[in-house]
Amino acid sequence: MLNIRTDLALESTELYRETAKKEADGIEIETDEGESYTVTRIKIMDEIGSEQLGKPRGTYITIEVPGLKNTDQDLKDEISQLVAKEIKGLGKNHEETKTLIVGLGNWNITPDALGPKVVDRVLVTRQFFLAYKKDRDETVANVSAISPGVMGLTGIETGEIIKGIVEKTGPDLIIAIDALASRRMDRVSTTIQISDTGISPGSGVGNKRIGLTEDYLGVPVIAIGVPTVVDAATMVNDTMELIISSMKEQAQVGTDFYSMLERVAEEEKYQLIKEVLEPYMPNVLVTPKEIDILIDDLSIIIANGLNMALHPGIELKDVNRYIR
């Protein structure tokens, strides 16, 4: 499979299909279509599927919402409910679950600020459970939250910070939110991925750190991510694909020109483009110009979805009370 930067299991599946000319083994795929969204659930069943897709075994849920770039309140509410439904569907939490929400990322860089902004908007309640010495409540669950920053700000691995918090506070579940990278511009800020496999902080910009996984932390980890960037080579590669596809539609099948286009389409253009671009703009990442508005909208959607998924007494009519 080509070394194209993507954190989305859906795109890894597409890349394998394009390069191997077949579906990956050891996976199950289920798709639901809504009026304004598409949900794709990919379950990697065994090590064969894991190796072919380059992803750990587990469940990956991708919610694609093209209208998120021009969203309104009704759409935000609809997708918040959908996020809550998919989180509950993973079966990792119940009324007595103690949950730690981790907002990964750098709050000083807008495309990387999704996690901290979500943490600003979730309803945290652990302090009340401690103050009143309660184990459960009919309305709210025991929820704590932290934005640990990035190693460049703190000098400490994010995984080390979270492991220390887990050892001191004893949560039953961790939910980590982070910005991701996509291979396609049309998925940037319009796609939400939810998985039960954990997450590697910094992976979206090719800077992997200690993974926040159940193996490392000792408790289940749900990861929620939104692609906010693509690298320049990926964008140029996809542009070339569109140009070649358009030219093939105009060319006559069987001609030398058509055969040449077929060969170009099959060659590993991405690596060539990357090698050409790197002397001039190495490691360049591209994000939409309206990313500040998009991050605000996405943080509200995810925070509201978390509030509804985790707290038994909170419904759609309640969630916007907690937006700050």
Give the pLDDT score at 282.
59
Task: Please state the separation of Cα 296 from the chain's center in Å.
Answer: 16
Concatenated DSSP letters of 193-259: EEESS-B-TTGGGT---S-B-HHHHSS-EEEEEEEEEEEHHHHHHHHHHHHHHHHHHHSPTTSHHHH
Give the pLDDT score at 284.
72
Amino acid at residue number 185? M
With H, G, I as helix, E, B as strand and everything else as coil, classify residue 50: helix
Asked if residue 277 lies in contact with residue 232, where contact means CB atoms within 8 angstroms, the answer is yes
Give the pLDDT score at 322.
54
- Output DSSP code: residue 162: H
pLDDT in tens, 32-80: 999 999 999 999 999 999 999 989 999 999 999 999 888 788 999 999 9
Which residue carries 């199950």 as its tokens? 28
- φ and ψ at 112, to 5 degrees? -105, 10
Please report, to the nearest 10 degrees, the dihedral formed by the alpha carbons of residues 218, 219, 225, 231 taken in order: 10
Q: Which two tokens stand for residue 81?
A: 């409910």
- Helix, strand, coil abundance in the chain, percent, nearest 5: 45, 20, 35
Asked if residue 103 lies in contact with residue 119, where contact means CB atoms within 8 angstroms, the answer is yes
Give the pLDDT score at 1.
45
Asked if residue 75 lies in contact with residue 67, where contact means CB atoms within 8 angstroms, the answer is yes
pLDDT in tens, 273-306: 767 766 666 567 778 888 999 999 999 999 999 9
Q: What is the 3-state secondary structure (H, E, C) of 62-100?
A: EEECHHHHHCCHHHHHHHHHHHHHHHHHCCCCCCCCEEE
- List average pLDDT for each run of 10 residues in the chain, which is 324 residues long: 74 87 92 96 95 93 93 91 97 94 92 94 95 92 93 85 96 96 88 93 56 93 94 74 81 81 62 68 75 93 96 88 56
